[in-house]
Structure 1
Amino acid sequence: MAQTYSTTQVNPHYHRLSIVPEDIPAAPPVIDFSAFHSDNPAAKIDLVNQVRDACLEKGFFQITNHGVSEELQAAIFEQSRDFFSLPMEEKEAYDKATHPHKLGYERLRSQNFEKKTAGDLKEGFFVGRDLPADHPYLKQGKNHCGQNVYPTEVRDPALFKETVDRYHRELTLLAEKVLSVIALTLKLDEDYFEPFCHETAAVLRLLHYPPQAPDASADERGIGAHTDFGGITILLQDEVGGLQVFDAPTRSWIDVKPTPGAFVVNLGNLMMRWSNDKYVSNLHRVINTSGRERFSIPFFYSGNPDFMITCLPGCEDAGKAPKYAPITVENWILGRQTNTFQEGKGLEELSSLAKVAG
C-alpha cells in the first residue's frame, strides 16, 4: 500500500510529520525499555523521545525488556484464573462493597461506562499495598489503602498472597521507572516525581471477562469507553486481545494487539491534568469477540493521596493561567470514581474527544 506523508494534529501542543499507510491509524508503539538501565546516553535519549511522542499522540505505548520476569507474569495469571474459577458464592464472600477500604471482589457488571447495557461484562479483584494495621492510611480511611483480603478457597492461599503482593511491589518499582522517563520527556529532573511516589496508594486489579455469545449485542462491552483516573496504568493482558484505543484524528478504534511479555502503559486523567493537557489521557475499551474468556491485570499508579497536583513546570501556556486549579490526588480520584461507577461517563468523554479532533 502506498504511504502518505501527513501533518497530524493530535492535541493543541503537538504537530509532527508522520509516515503511515493511508487512512490507517498507527497502533501504539512497542518500546524497548532496556535503555533505561543503559550506560549508552544515545539509547536513553532515544527511549525518552519515543515515550514523549507516545504521550503526546495517543497516551499509550507498550514496553518490553522492563525487568519484570515472565515467570511472575505467568504466576499472577495463574492465581487470577484460580480465584475467578471459584463458585460465585465464595467470590462474593470477599465483596469489596463490604470492605471499609474497597478491597476485594468486584461483581460482574459493577461498572457501566457507556450505559448501553446492564453493565460492563467483567468481574475483578482489588489488591492494594499490604499495609500494617497501624498505618496512617488505615486510620484516615483512604480508599484502597486498607488491609487486603486474601481468599482462602483458592488451591494455595499462601501462594496467592505471596504472588499478588510480590507483583504489586514489582509493578510499583516499574511504575516509578516509567515516571522517571516521563519526567525526562518534560525536561524535568529524572527524580522530579519522587515526592509524588512517596507512600503511594497504587491498586492492582485482577480482571476476568467471560466469553461473549456469538449473537451478543453489538453494544456489549467488556469495559466501555473510558479514560483512567490516575497517573499511569501498567496493564498485563493475555493472548486473547480485545483492548482498543481511540484514534481522535480518524475517530476510529485501534486494536492493541498483545505482545508476549510486554506491558501496555497509558497515562491517566491525573497526568493529563498535571501536564495542563499537554499529554493525552486517551479513551480505551475492551470488546471480547474471541469466543474465549479473557484475563487482564491493570496496575493503577496514582501516587501519594495527599500530594497536591499543580501545573508541571514548562507545561504552562504562555501568558495564560493553568487550566486547572490545584487538587489533591485523593480528591481527584474520589471524584472520578463517583462519576464512572455511578453515572457512566464513557459516551460523554468519547463525544468530547471526537469534537476536539475534528
Structure 2
Amino acid sequence: MGEVDSAFIQIPENRPKLSIIQAEGIPVINLSPIIDNTIQDSSAIESLVKEIASACKEWGFFQVTNHGVPLNLRLRIEEASKVFFAQSLEEKRKLTIDDIGFPGYQDTEHTKNVRDWKEVFDFLSKDPTLIPLNSDEHDDRVTRWTNPSPQYPPHFKVIIEEYIKEMEKVGFKLLELIALSLGVEAKRFEEFFIKNQTSFLRLNHYPPCPYPHLALGVGPHKDSGVLTILAQDEVGGLQVKRKTDQQWILVKPTPDAYIINVGDIIQIWSNDAYESVEHRAMVNTEKGRFSIPFFFNPGHDTEVKPLEELINEQNPSKYRPYKWGKFLIHRKDSNFKKQDVENLQIYHYKLP
C-alpha cells in the first residue's frame, strides 16, 4: 500500500454504516508499583492487582502507563516504521517471504484480503521460531519460521529486536499481575514461554481511505494468543466492543501509554473468569494511521486448557485442551485462503 490505490481494496457496496460511541473508554492503569524497584509498598501492589482483575473482567482491555519502556526506543521504532512503509511497493514486497507472507511484508493484494485496509510487516520474537508443519493433530513434524533482513531504513532490524525485548519484559510483568489476580502463583504462566515461544511484532500502516464509513482498517475480531501490547499513534482508531451493552467504544490515544488486551488463551486459562473481547480498527480520509502491536504467545507445544488450580466441582473445566501450535497453523492457513467453513475459534473447544 503506501502509494497503492484503492483498487487493491474491494469495498462491499452493501456494507452497513459503522456506529461509534464516544466515551471515557477503557481503564488506564499505572504500573509504577511493579516497574519502579524502589517502591516496596505491598498495599500499592495489592491495589494494582485489583485494578488488573477489574479491567480483565469488565473490559478485557486496559491501558498502562509508567510501563518502563524507554520513550526514545518507542519513538525510534515509530519513525523507522513510517520510513519503511514510505518505500515503493516493489521494495517492500522483497520482504515477502513465502506463500502466506509470514513473517515479513504483506499487503492486501498479496493476501487477497478484501476486508482490511492496511499493510503490515511482521517480525518474530525468536528467530528461528519452531512451528508445526501442518495442523494435522497426528503429525508431529515441525518447521522453522525465520525473519527477513530489511536493509532499509538503517538499523531497522536492530531497533525492532531491542523493542521486542522491552515488549517481553512488559508482557511478563502483566502476566504476573494477571496470575495474582486469579489467585495463582505470580510466575505461573512463565513455563508456557520458556521453550519455543511464538510471539511476534507487527507494524501496521492504514493509509488514508476515501471510504471511511464503509471500510475498516481491521474488521471485528478477537486475538487468539495470550496478550496483545499495542502502541497506537495520535490518529487513533481502535474500538472495543463494550461487554455491558455490546456498543463500540473508541479508545482515545493516551500519550506514551500501551493498550493491553486479553487474548483467547487467557480466557481459557482463567476458565472464562476473564474474556477476550471483540475489537476493530478504523481509518479516515485525511490521515494515515500507524500502530505497533506485540502478540505475546506461548510455545507451539503448549497444551491450552484451564489452570488446574481454578478447577473444582463448583467450577468444572469449560474447555477441552488443544495444542497452541496446531491452532495457530490452522488459523494462519485459513486467514489467507477462502474457506467453505468458519475459521477456527476457541468456542469450538467449549465443553457442553
Residue 161 (structure 1) shift: 1.1
Distance 1:344 1:283, change over 3 A: farther
Partner Cα separation in structure 2 for residue 127 and residue 78 of structure 1: 17
Partner in structure 1 of residue 96 of structure 2: 95
- AA partner of residue 125 (structure 2): R
**Mapped contact 1:111–1:120 kept (Cα < 8 A):** no
Question: Matches of residues 151-300 of structure 1 in structure 2 within 5 Å?
Answer: 151-152=150-151, 154-156=152-154, 159-199=155-195, 200-213=197-210, 216=211, 218-289=213-284, 291-300=286-295
**Shift of residue 25, structure 1, vs aligned partner:** 6.3
SS at match of 2:173: helix
Q: In structure 2, what residue type is equivalent to 1:92? A: R
Deviations 1:274-316 (A, max 9, x none): 2222211010001122620000000001111111122114433
Q: Please give the secondary structure, in 1, of the residue aligned with 2:205.
A: strand
- Provide structure 1 residue ranges, at least 5 long, that are not aligned to the other structure: 1-22, 353-358
1:110-166 deviation per Cα after TM superposition (whole angstroms, max 9, x unaligned):
6789xxxx220010001003526xx86699645xx63211222x241xx10110011
Output aligned runs, 1:53-132, within 5 Å: 53-98=54-99, 102-108=102-108, 118-131=114-127
Aligned to 1:28: 26
Calculate the TM-score normalised by the size of structure 1: 0.80
Change over 3 Å in CA distance of 1:236–1:247 after alignment to 2: same
TM-score (norm 2): 0.81
* Residues 1:70 and 1:35: Cα distance change in structure 2 (over 3 Å): same
Q: Gaps spanning 5+ residues in structure 2: where? A: 1-20, 134-140, 348-352
Q: What letter is aligned with 1:171?
A: M
Instruction: Quote the Cα distance in structure 2 between the aligned partners of 1:126 and 1:328.
Output: 23
Quick check: 1:76–1:164 contact (8 Å CA) kept in 2?
A: yes
CA distance in 2, matches of 1:312, 1:155: 44
In structure 2, what residue type is equivalent to 1:66?
H
Quote the RMSD (CA, aligned, Å). Answer: 2.8
Q: What one-letter code is carried by the residue in structure 2 that aligns with 1:208?
A: H
Q: Is the 8 A contact 2:130 2:300 kept in 1?
A: no
> Helix, strand or coil: the match of 2:260?
strand
Q: Which residue of structure 1 lines up, in the alignment, with residue 8 of structure 2?
A: none
Aligned length: 313
Identity of aligned residues (%): 34
